[in-house]
Amino acid sequence: MRYELYYWNGIQGRGEFVRLALEEAAADYVDVCRNEGGEDAMMTLLDSDAVTRPPFAPPFLKAGRQLIGQTANILLFLGPRHGLAPDDEAGRLWTHSLQLTIADLVSEVHDSHHPLASSMYYEEQRREAKKRAANLVRERLPKFLGYFERVLARSARTPRFLVGRALTYVDLSMFQVVAGLRYAYPNAMAGLEKRCPRLVDLHEHVRLRPRIAAYLASARRLPFNEQGIFRHYRALDA
Amino acid sequence: MRYELYYWNGIQGRGEFVRLALEEAAADYVDVCRNEGGEDAMMTLLDSDAVTRPPFAPPFLKAGRQLIGQTANILLFLGPRHGLAPDDEAGRLWTHSLQLTIADLVSEVHDSHHPLASSMYYEEQRREAKKRAANLVRERLPKFLGYFERVLARSARTPRFLVGRALTYVDLSMFQVVAGLRYAYPNAMAGLEKRCPRLVDLHEHVRLRPRIAAYLASARRLPFNEQGIFRHYRALDA
């Protein structure tokens, strides 16, 4: 079965967490909106009255006749099918809770450049963004990254994964968080990374995995930019 | 097995979504932090190095030896065990995606009074809160509530549930969202509710279910207040 991934063209955004899982799984998929007419098809699925179970927003995945919305939920679906989640229910719930914590972090990173409204331009909320970004860097990132570092510290093996002995989708997402934060907040991250060496190692391990390395070197991997979630604005990264 | 629910004392907050499911299920549970020493026990579970799989934040649920974090994830666990989720995997993923969309809405409601930082007082970010709340009321609530109304419209039966023919945990959460928004934004909701009659009906149906009605009338149901997620500030509800 060929999966269809629906996500805004031109940005990594939340779609990237799904792409990384599909790539590591060597799954057969098409990134619909990168093709002519793709965004129209996406809007139809979002708005059509004929869709029984419409997703709220991109990204969503079409798997046969099933439409699956919400990033973490898509990974919950893909994980067990592609060897990217533990076999037991307790392990899957634990993995999923980590993914949901990453989702919370990602939302906070988004709001650091859009604290007032997603529908306004960054330039219209720059002053507020400066305050929120300062709080993100000073309080929230240390709390989130410290948490994941602590989770990694409980793993005895090298390479250390967030869950058990094998790579799961949440490791791939963690790679993306570190990569995105390095892009958006290079100054802040230079300091923060000293306190989370295991996260740095995990990022490096994922980056070098053959399928991920091939993906990152391909045209399928879009560059970070100032339309996505991880945006670099010098004013926010003092 | 007696569940242990860990959540901050004194507020409904995110814990309330779990409480409603436990109450409807007539599950055996203890709301740990409402007892003497409960918050200390909670902090120990959050911070202790002896906990192999520590949750990031409250609420979390202790089920036997398992600790389950993240509100939506707790409901994902409870749903199938207590007849509050569909039997098939596709139905469960659909239910969960709706719950995650509610989680997104809840975060946006929280940020409407705390757009700059959770750690600052509302009074320190009142001006920014006014802007964010205006956007919530004008754009975001119509989008979210319109979406759930559309989902309900696809259900042919009366009473209409969000998923299939039977009540699921996401209906209970939707009740809480409507109740919370009525408390926090009564003026805005007076207008918005005209466009979502099915959500109003769902709220009423859930409110009158015997176990929920008994819960709401009991001392176990805390009142809404200005320490929780749904806060009423007159300045934000023009």
Q: Note if the pTM is more than 0.95.
A: yes
Q: Which residues of A3-14 are buried (b: 16+ CB within 10 A; e: fewer)?
A: bbbbbbeebbbb
Segment A179-191, tens digit of pLDDT:
999 999 999 999 9
Q: Which fold has domain B3-81?
A: Glutaredoxin (3.40.30)
> Residue A11 — pLDDT band, cuts 50, 70, 90?
very high
Q: Are A102 and A174 in contact (CB under 8 A)?
A: yes
The candidate with the shortest Cα–Cα distance to B106, out of B168, B170, B50, B47, is B170
Average pLDDT, chain B: 96
Segment A157-213, tens digit of pLDDT:
777 999 989 999 999 999 999 999 999 999 999 999 999 999 999 999 999 999 999
Backbone angles phi, psi at A3, to 5 degrees: -75, 150
* Chain A touched by B117 (CB under 8 Å): yes
* Domain B89-209, CATH: 1.20.1050.10
- pLDDT in the model for residue B225: 97
Mutate to test the interface with A, among B97, B145, B152 (most CBs of A within 10 A): B97
DSSP E strand boundaries for chain B: 3-6, 29-31, 60-63, 66-69
Residue of A nearest to B54 (CA): A151
A182 contact partners, CB below 8 Å, separation of at least 6: A189
- pLDDT in the model for residue B156: 74
- pLDDT in the model for residue B159: 79
Segment B180-190, tens digit of pLDDT:
999 999 999 99
Contact A72 B100 (CB under 8 A): yes
Segment B47-66, tens digit of pLDDT:
998 899 999 999 999 999 99
* Chain A touched by B155 (CB under 8 Å): no
Nearest to B53 among A69, A94, A115 (CB): A94
- pLDDT in the model for residue A156: 74
* Four-residue CA torsion sign, A215, A220, A225, A226: negative
For A:63-92, CB contacts with B below 8 A are 66, 68-70, 72-73, 76-77, 90
Backbone angles phi, psi at B138, to 5 degrees: -80, -40
The candidate with the shortest Cα–Cα distance to A133, out of A11, A14, A235, A226, is A235
Segment A58-94, tens digit of pLDDT:
999 999 999 999 999 999 999 999 999 999 999 999 9
Say what the ipTM of the complex is.
0.97
Residue type, A19: R
| Regions of chain B short of the pLDDT cut 70 | none
Q: Where along chain B do its domains lie? A: 3-81, 89-209
- pLDDT in the model for residue A155: 81
What's the CA dihedral at B31, B32, B37, B40 to 10 degrees? -130
Segment B158-181, tens digit of pLDDT:
779 999 899 999 999 999 999 999
